[in-house]
Structure 1
């Protein structure tokens, strides 16, 4: 039988708690940083709690990197 798919009962609870905390931390950090920069904080924050590390990488490319380029030109 193909063992590439796991049921929720087979995943250790410690791993689930770690993943939940990681998603919460990532979403909160993205939300607070986007609010500081004035860049749609609710959108970024909600998207930040959906997966790891995709939203964080895209946020870095779209928001942080463009802000760094903008400030270095001044």
Structure 2
């Protein structure tokens, strides 16, 4: 537990900023896609970790939709 006390404050702030930006980006992107029903899910999940939620969003939402449009 002492390892967490040795982490500088600026690093914690950077981590918080990255998670916040990712959560907002996922929320806003899903809202703008017109569906919006899962926007809260993606936004909250985006606040929990990096980069897994963004990668999953791109693989399971953006990529299949782009493939459908292309065909």
Q: Same fold (TM over 0.5)?
A: yes
1:41-56 pair list within 5 angstroms = 41-56=39-54
Structure 2 counterpart of 1:26: 22
Higher Rg of the two aligned structures: 1
- Report how many residues are paired: 69
Query: What TM-score, normalized by structure 2, do the two folds share?
Result: 0.89
Cα distance, 1:55 vs structure 2: 0.4
CA-based RMSD of the aligned residues comes to 1.4
Runs (5+) with no aligned partner, structure 1: none
1:1-74 pair list within 5 angstroms = 7-37=3-33, 38-39=35-36, 40-73=38-71
